[in-house]
Structure formats: structure tokens, C-alpha cells
């Protein structure tokens, strides 16, 4: 395992074309994830781009929310990044680049970040972008993001304040389009926070949205990015049109989500097609142009299909099962903790992947809390396999022992309702739910029910306290780019999780500079989560994505489907 190394020299003020770097003397950084990744395989333009046309795109599942700060649903973020911009975006190797900025700088001591915003940027409703919109958008995002909440804790002026009252210390200069963020301790994680890709995003929003608390109903989208949302019919379609007053990041080479955007398309429609076979048929007949993640067993039907290209994505998703800790049997009591560990132990991860994904070339074993494939490894991978907590095929004996211990502490645990929620219109989730249903009955739960819902209904249900006990899910690679990324749990969650030790570990990691201590902290984070799990990670898999051959400029195997700089050769 390659150890994380501290930067050797302070980063200079960065022009818009330079990848962001952390300052010396702050938290040591792991080697860039970019150094670990193969090159992406974009579909090349093959000539000059053509303007015009409306692209038909099928997201991976139904869209319940359009506020990218209100939900961890990947589909919301995927469409949202076409209408909302961020100060920083990433290239296909996940390196950070300024996007809405003319320049940025970091103080020598690593406590102050200065951002010079490009002038002339407008919101979709015609209002000019203000520095206060950026500042308040960041405050709003920080309240729903684990790393953001940590940064609030070290932001000057927040000592003694309740969480809802905490804000970043930001000095705004509207006349000069400048923002300065100040912290009480040096940290290199600010740009990681501002360049997050998923599940929630630090989108720059109009006051009509940033003034609404995340989670409150929002049925409009007003950003500054290249396409504006003009119509949303829940369960049917989201319609986006070219924003005529968009101000591009001129001169910056385009790569994945960063750089200069040419608006070739008149717009695009995001269509809700729940049935995967119907989706695949639609791209074969040319009724749709881009098909996001779909059932892997259907991909081979597209091999050799006229006018269709398909590929697995380059970086894997982490298949998982989430717990509802708001009530028994998986609550925060000791019996609940043991019950959660028991389910972790029984999970037959290879059978889940074989059922949901199929060929082992499309999935890989992983025993870390965050995604494998980054520079961060841990001895805990071996420890948990030896303990029987997470194994390739499940450890039924360990699972039964842990469930017996839970039953002894709370008689009746085995007979409690266990409803497994599985979204029928998403890859992986239905098959994973079926395998987990069988495994949980085998380990000793007597009232296990598999509940099939569409993705939008599943998101609404699991966003509440119930009735549900566990839910199949998955998390894409962007959630695990570093040890403080969203996939590494914080101390609490909306699902009732409570592990105070994680607040201490994440807080220490945020400001630590010694590589050896950082590695030890990361190891301890993994141990803490496996001892008190808030969800199960199965293994990683690469779902397929497909396009029509006349869709040009599209990166077929990038982490997300991005429609910027895409054109239709018709």
C-alpha cells in the first residue's frame, strides 16, 4: 500500500487552467486518485460539431427530487450538474480544477482561501450571480455534507453555536467578485469539499433555492450552468433547454466535468422508463440516444447491435445494504449493533454479485469502508475477514452467533419484522434484495419480507423513519475519493446512526499532517465502522452504459453521463 505523502512546497496562486493543489503544512494528502486510474475512452467527435437537436436521455432511475442538496440519489446529481455550476469541477481522473473562477489562492498558513469569481455570470431567470449566492449555497451544502459539517466546526466564529446556526466565515467583495473563506486551523480539505461530485453537490444556487432548507420541497431549478430546467413532470420527464446567457469557462480544455462548454444541443429530455428491457429496446430502435446504468444481463443484447455503442463504466460502484437504525431490530442499542454485525457477517457477497452482476470480470472484491481503487488501503481488510464480519461468501456460523447474542440481550429480536426495500427499476438492487432475503432467513430472522418499489418511491420511503428495516443500494466511486468523502460515515445520520467516535476520528484527520498518523486514523475509522456498522458494503461492480452511434463527444465509460459538448451527427 502506498503511503500518503505530504506536499513539499506551498501551492502558488492558481490560474483557472491549473489543477488545484493543497498547501504545505496542512493535512497531508494521499497520492492523487488520478495516478491510479486508466485513461477514459471518450467517443470522439470525428469532425466539427453540429449545433441543434434535442437529445433523449434515460437516467438510471426515477427522479424524485431535483434539489441536488436534498437527496443522495445519484440521478438527481447527474441531471443537476447540467443546470448548476460549482466553483471547482474535476477531470476524468478526479483532479480538481477551477470552473467558475478567474483565480484562487491559499494563505501560507493554510487557513484562508481566496476565490476570484469570473464576471458576467447570470442565473437562468436573468438575475446576476452575486457573491452572497455563492456563500449561502456553500452554507446550505455544508449542513447536509459530512465534510462540510467538519469544516464548519473549524470555521472562525462558530464556537458555541448550534449546528443550524453555523456558517462559514466568508468575507464577500461584490464589487470585485471575491470571496475569502477563513478557518481557525489549516486544512487541505476545502477544495475537496468544493469539488464534490456526488451524492450531494456544492451547487451554486439562486436565492429562491438556497433560502429553502434542504429537504423542504423544491420544484424549480435556477442555476448558472449551460442548460436550464424548463419543465418537470414527475414520473415522466425533465426537460432542459440551452441557456442562452451562459458564460463558459473560455480557454480551459474540456475534460469530463471541467473546462469550456460548447452548447451544441438545443436541449435534452431526461425520460423516466422504469423497465430495463424497455430501455434497451428504446436505444436499439433509436427512440432514445443515451442510456445510463442498466441491468448488466441485458448489455450483451447490445453487442453487435446496429447503431449502438456500449461499455461498462471505468470505476466501480460499491453495492450495499443500508440499515434503518431508528427502530429495532437494527437500532442503536447493543442488541441492534449485534444484529447489524450479524447481517454483515451473513452477507454472501459473491452470490449477490453473481446474481446482480454476473460475470466476475464485471465485479471485484473490496473489504474497505470506502471504495477500493484509491491510494488508501488498510490492514482492516484482513482483520474483518479473519473475524468473519465480512467475507467473500458469508460466514453463517458467525452470523448466527452474533444474532443469538442479540436475542439474549433483547428476546424477540429474531421475530421482529425485517422489510428489505429493493428498487425494481435500478441495477443491482432487486437481485441483491432477493439474495439477502434468503440469507437473513437462513441466519434466523423469521419475519423477512422483500418489498419491491420504483426508485423514486424507495427514496421517499427510506428518507423517512419507516416502515422499513434495510434497503439495497449502491454508491459510486465519487463517494470514496478520500477518507473524508461521503461514503465514510459521520457520527450521525438521518437513518438514526450514532457513533461519537467517528466525530473524533474525522476531526483529527481533517487537520493532521503526519502521514503515519493519517494512516492510523484511517485504519481506526474502518475498525469503528465495522464494529458498529451503519450499512453493509458488498463488492464493487461496473454497470453498463449505452449510446447511439450518432451521439458524438460523449465519454462512454466516465463515472457519470455528461452531456456538455455532446452533439448529434444527424
Backbone φ and ψ for 462, nearest 5 degrees, come out as -75, -10
Supply 14's cell numbers: 492558481
φ/ψ of residue 172, rounded to 5: -110, 135
Query: Can you give the residue ranges of every domain in the chain?
Result: 14-270+544-568, 317-541
DSSP string, 42-68: BPP--SS-----EEEEE-SS------T
Tens digits of per-residue pLDDT, 123-170? 999 999 999 999 999 999 999 998 999 999 999 899 889 888 999 999
- Its pTM stands at 0.87
Provide the pLDDT for residue 1: 34
SS3 (DSSP) at 191: helix
pLDDT of 28 reads: 39
Confidence at residue 494, expressed as pLDDT on a 0 to 100 scale: 87
Q: What is the pLDDT of residue 45?
A: 53
Per-residue confidence (pLDDT) for residue 34, from 0 to 100: 47
SS3 state at 553:
coil
Structural contact between residues 515 and 5, judged by C-beta atoms closer than 8 angstroms: yes
What count of other Cβ atoms lies within 10 Å of the Cβ of residue 513? 16
CA 421 from centroid of its chain's CA atoms: 20
Low-confidence ranges of the chain (pLDDT < 50): 1-17, 22-37
Q: State the CATH architecture for 14-270+544-568.
A: 3-Layer(aba) Sandwich (3.40)
Give DSSP secondary structure letters for 464-505: SS-S-SEEEEEE-GGGGSSTTSTTS--SB-TT--B-HHHHHH
- Cα angle for residues 262, 178, 247 (degrees, 5° grid): 15
Dist. CA 570–CA 50, nearest whole Å: 8
Distance CA 153, CA 146 (A): 11
Whole-number pLDDT of residue 43? 55
**The residue to which cell 455570470 is assigned:** 121
What pLDDT score does 156 carry? 87
DSSP single-letter state for residue 180: E
| Residues 37 and 314 sit within 8 Å (Cβ to Cβ) | yes
Residue 41 pLDDT: 59
Burial degree of 38 (CB within 10 A; 0-12, 13-18, 19+): exposed
Q: What is residue 257's predicted lDDT score, i.e. its pLDDT? A: 96
pLDDT score, position 39: 60
Radius of gyration of the chain (CA): 23
- Find out whether 94 and 225 touch, Cβ atoms under 8 Å: no
What grid cell was written down for 365? 472484491
The fold of 317-541 is Dipeptide-binding Protein; domain 3 (3.10.105)
Q: What CA–CA distances, in Å, run from 454 to 77, 150, 459?
A: 18, 34, 9
Amino acid at each position: 500500500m502506498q503511503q500518503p505523502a505530504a506536499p513539499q512546497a506551498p501551492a502558488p496562486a492558481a490560474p483557472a487552467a491549473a489543477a488545484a493543489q493543497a498547501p504545505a503544512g496542512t493535512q497531508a494528502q494521499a497520492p492523487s486518485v488520478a495516478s491510479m486510474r486508466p485513461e477514459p475512452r471518450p467517443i470522439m467527435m470525428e469532425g466539427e460539431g453540429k449545433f441543434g437537436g434535442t437529445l433523449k436521455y434515460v437516467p438510471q432511475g426515477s427522479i424524485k427530487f431535483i434539489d441536488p442538496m436534498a437527496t443522495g440519489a445519484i440521478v438527481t446529481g447527474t441531471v443537476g450538474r447540467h443546470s448548476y455550476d460549482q466553483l471547482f469541477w474535476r477531470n476524468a481522473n478526479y483532479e480538481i480544477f477551477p470552473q467558475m473562477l478567474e483565480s484562487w489562492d491559499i494563505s501560507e498558513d493554510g487557513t484562508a482561501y481566496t476565490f476570484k469569481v469570473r464576471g458576467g455570470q447570470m442565473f437562468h431567470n436573468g438575475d446576476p450571480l452575486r457573491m452572497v449566492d455563492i456563500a449561502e449555497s456553500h452554507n446550505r451544502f455544508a449542513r447536509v455534507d459530512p465534510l462540510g459539517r467538519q469544516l464548519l466546526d473549524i470555521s472562525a466564529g462558530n464556537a458555541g453555536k448550534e449546528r443550524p446556526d453555523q456558517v462559514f466565515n466568508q468575507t464577500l467583495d461584490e464589487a470585485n467578485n471575491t470571496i475569502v473563506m477563513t478557518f481557525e486551523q489549516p486544512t487541505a480539505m476545502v477544495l475537496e469539499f468544493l469539488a464534490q461530485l456526488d451524492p450531494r453537490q456544492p451547487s451554486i444556487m439562486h436565492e429562491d433555492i438556497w433560502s429553502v432548507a434542504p429537504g423542504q420541497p423544491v420544484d424549480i431549478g435556477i442555476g448558472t450552468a449551460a442548460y436550464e430546467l424548463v419543465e418537470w413532470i414527475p414520473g415522466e420527464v425533465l426537460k432542459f433547454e440551452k441557456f442562452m446567457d451562459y458564460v463558459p469557462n473560455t480557454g480551459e480544455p474540456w475534460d469530463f466535468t471541467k473546462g469550456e462548454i460548447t452548447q451544441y444541443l438545443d436541449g435534452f429530455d431526461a425520460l423516466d422508463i422504469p423497465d430495463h428491457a424497455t430501455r434497451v429496446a428504446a436505444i436499439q430502435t433509436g427512440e432514445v440516444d443515451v442510456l445510463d446504468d442498466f441491468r448488466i444481463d441485458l448489455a450483451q443484447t447490445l453487442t453487435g447491435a446496429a447503431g449502438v455503442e456500449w461499455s461498462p463504466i471505468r470505476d466501480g460502484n460499491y453495492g450495499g445494504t443500508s440499515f434503518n437504525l431508528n427502530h429495532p431490530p437494527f437500532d442503536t442499542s447493543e442488541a441492534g449493533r449485534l444484529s447489524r454485525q450479524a447481517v454483515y457477517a451473513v452477507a454472501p457477497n459473491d452470490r449477490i454479485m453473481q446474481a446482480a452482476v454476473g460475470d466476475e470480470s464485471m465485479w471485484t472484491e473490496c473489504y474497505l469502508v470506502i471504495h477500493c481503487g484509491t491510494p488508501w488501503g488498510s490492514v482492516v481488510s484482513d482483520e474483518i475477514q479473519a473475524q468473519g464480519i465480512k467475507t467473500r461468501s458469508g460466514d453463517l456460523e458467525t452470523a448466527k452467533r452474533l444474532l443469538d447474542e442479540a436475542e439474549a440481550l433483547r428476546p424477540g429480536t429474531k421475530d421482529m419484522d425485517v422489510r428489505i426495500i429493493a428498487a425494481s427499476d435500478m441495477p443491482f438492487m432487486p437481485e441483491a434484495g432477493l439474495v439477502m432475503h434468503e440469507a437473513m432467513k437462513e441466519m434466523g430472522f423469521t419475519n423477512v419480507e422483500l418489498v419491491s418499489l420504483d426508485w423514486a418511491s424507495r427514496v421517499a420511503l427510506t428518507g423517512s423513519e419507516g416502515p422499513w428495516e434495510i434497503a439495497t443500494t449502491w454508491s459510486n466511486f465519487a463517494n470514496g475519493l478520500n477518507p473524508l468523502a461521503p461514503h465514510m460515515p459521520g457520527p450521525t445520520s438521518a437513518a438514526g446512526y450514532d457513533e461519537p467516535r467517528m466525530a473524533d476520528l474525522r476531526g483529527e484527520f481533517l487537520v493532521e499532517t503526519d502521514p503515519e498518523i493519517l494512516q492510523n486514523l484511517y485504519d481506526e475509522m474502518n475498525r469503528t465502522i465495522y464494529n458498529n456498522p451503519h450499512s453493509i458494503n458488498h463488492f464493487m461492480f461496473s454497470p453498463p452504459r449505452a449510446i447511439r452511434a450518432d451521439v458524438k463527444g460523449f465519454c462512454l465509460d466516465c463515472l457519470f453521463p455528461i452531456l456538455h459538448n455532446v452533439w448529434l451527427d444527424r
